[in-house]
Chains A and B, each alone.
Chain A
Amino acid sequence: MVDRFIENFDCGHRACGGCGASAAVRMILKGAGKNTIVVSPTGCLEVFSTPYPETAWKTPWIHSLFENSSAVASGIEASLKKQGRLDKEKILVIGGDGATVDIGTLCISGAFERGHDFTYVCYDNEAYMNTGIQRSGATPYDADTTTSPAGVCSTGNNRPKKDLPQILVAHGSPYVATASMAYPMDLMKKVETAMNTKGPCYIQVHTPCCTGWGYDGAKTMEIGRMAVECGLWANYEIVNGELTSAKKVKRVPVDDYLKAQKRFRHLFKPVRNDAEIAKIQAIADKNAKKYGIDIE
């Protein structure tokens, strides 16, 4: 049972007001419960939570480098196993999409291939936010970032999101899920499930970023809901390689979600870019079909 009043992340951290990731981290830690050791890669979370000597972490916490948190977690797991602590203490990596989907691919693949008992939760704000909003492998199609800017000859990022959940399913992970901080109860439950599943488990959490996506911080939950409701983000669970649950929605067109964020503004100004928006709609349609999210 998740105790929603556990507080393992303290006030006084330096996240932007309205930060989806910091709200998500509080929820993730509630889902994880006590006796959790956290590993973080370099990124927004690490930077806003631990400027020496201030730390917002009330759990044991370690940060090494940008790309190696899965390898560090592997080492912690091996050590806890040898010390006989692995039945009591659990290992949780919380890292951003940059660290997870791009530069950390080597380490996460190795750790999942070796089958270490830990949970990796990726807070996906869809770009390298901490360094100023550069494109990552998780940046959605046509999003404007500083390294995939919209311009005269560009409509923004020209690739779809990398499907890391599927890659880790292929590694034989017993539990792979996606979640959104806009659906806290679902997120906490999934984290609890992952922490209690033996083996390497992965959850990718959609965490809207008001600074990077360009919307008023008060709307973080709403933006998160809109992503799910138009099908561009699907919440699902894959248990031992089988899709066992997906959040069903009465799907709406992608327009409202895109219009609400500055990073897609170029698709509407000076005129609506019908061709590009159709491509994005197709991505949403594909998600809907793949995960069965449409309410019949």
Chain B
Amino acid sequence: MEGSIAIAETVRLCRPQVISAYPITPQTHIVEGLASIVADGRLDAEYICVESEFSALSACIGASAAGSRVYSATTSQGLALMAEVVFNSAGMRLPIVMGIANRAISAPLSIWNDQQDSIMMRDSGWIQLYAEDNQEAIDMHILAYKVCEDHDILLPAFVCFDGFILSHVYEPIDLPSQELVDTFLGPFNPYQKLDVNDPISLGMYATPEYYLEFRYEHDKAVHRAAEALKKYGKEFGEVFGRDYSELVVGYKLEDAETAIVAMGSICGTVKDAIDEMRADGKKVGLLNLRCFRPFPSTDVAKALAHVNTIAVLDKNVSLGAKGAVAIEIKEACYGSNIPVYDYILGLGGRDVRKRDIKKIVELAEKGEGDMFYGLREEVL
């Protein structure tokens, strides 16, 4: 089925009580799918047709605080519009799960895929998971609820999947059964909620005497999420048959001399390119980052310790600096002396093919990197 519909059906299985989302390309099929599911009575939920993304996430805050499991989805401009609420909801430690159909950010306006939108929220205190294919996209939704709602974690999560490339593509999907999801997730058990029988004040303001400590606790929680993701990822494997106990996954990496690091759907292309390069005798491997926040520095350093060259594919750019993934990889590998080369590519939906991956490996091994890959010189 189409990626978006698979996600909508999976959200249905997770039984949110309130769905509050605003349509935006390329996430529209998800919210339309969910609206249809609710209208047909296949999910007993309140579907709020909010008037903007800003209100979409704000309504999620209210509903989650009142004691409901909630869902929203957005991308690009919508995510930027709700930026204030993104930080606010994380600081309020509400376990909201939001699908992000990764899309480039304006200006210039683009509806096509890159990962700038979720990447720019990396400081927000949300967990960030990146799906390689639609199976991962739906599995990560279920996993996200499990991790977020753990009373030791209490964080919201982005489940990121490349817009159009995954959201609009038809792939065979193993949609789990309602029984298995119910067993794995259970009903929503909020850590605290708005309740006249036990009143709390939620979202107070913090003076300089307290603010630092709140941020410290929040940061600790995001770091703890790494272990929670691994633990519940393993449990997910036992229940559903697909293991998510690792935050970084190597592909033909064990004996690789050159490693490609990437996130999201591009990994599929990279794996095919690697197979071809291996057939030609090149020792190349892939490190697939499933999780960007918390950043799995230790796992990354360990996985890449033995390689000679690292080529990072960044479908984003922190303008004036480098691609965000490369910056993190360099930080993780600090002290190892392995050269890390950054390739900014695929922005705004620019297609990345196997031959591009092979070219990048060539460039990296020649020591040429830290570039925008694939520039069309003729239009400059």
Contacts and interface: CB of A to CB of B under 8 A. Distances in A.
B55 interface: yes
Interface in A71-99: 71-83, 88-89
A110 B55 contact: yes
Interface residues of B, number: 45
B18 A71 contact: no
B188 to A, nearest CB: 10
Interface string A108-137: 011101100000000000000000000000
Contacts of A74: 20, 48, 50, 55, 58-59, 62
B95 to A, nearest CB: 13
B67 interface: yes
A64 B203 contact: yes
B274 interface: no
Contacts of A178: none
Contacts of B61: 62, 64, 68, 72, 75
A75 B48 contact: yes
Contacts of B203: 62-64
A57 B201 CA distance: 7
Nearest to A35: B196
Given A61-B202, A71-B50, A83 B207 contact: no
A107 B204 contact: no
A64 B92 contact: yes
Point out which of B44, B50, B198 has the most chain A C-beta atoms below 10 A from its C-beta.
B50
B48 to A, nearest CB: 6
Contact of B17 (A46, A70, A83, A107): A83
Contacts of B52: 106, 110
Nearest to B87: A65
A106 B196 CA distance: 28
A59 B196 CA distance: 6
Contact of B196 (A34, A46, A79): A34
A106 B53 CA distance: 11
B140 to A, nearest CB: 24
B206 A52 contact: yes
A258 B85 CA distance: 40
A52 B49 contact: no
B88 interface: yes
Contacts, number: 163
Given A52-B204, A71-B50, A37 B196 contact: yes
A58 B199 contact: yes
B289 interface: no
Interface string B25-64: 0000000000000000000111011111011101111111
B300 to A, nearest CB: 35
Nearest to B56: A71
B70 A75 contact: yes
A58 B201 CA distance: 8
Given A47-B205, A50-B204, A71-B58, A79 B51 contact: no
Contacts of A67: 54
Contact of B62 (A59, A76, A83, A88): A76
A107 B205 contact: no
Contact of B63 (A46, A61, A76): A76
A160 interface: no
B123 interface: no
A75 B196 contact: no
B377 interface: no
Contact of A79 (B66, B84, B199, B200): B66
9 contacts: A37-B66, A51-B204, A62-B65, A75-B64, A78-B59, A81-B46, A82-B17, A106-B51, A114-B48
Given A62-B203, A72-B59, 11 more contacts: A60-B198, A61-B199, A62-B62, A62-B201, A62-B202, A63-B202, A67-B54, A71-B58, A75-B61, A77-B62, A114-B50
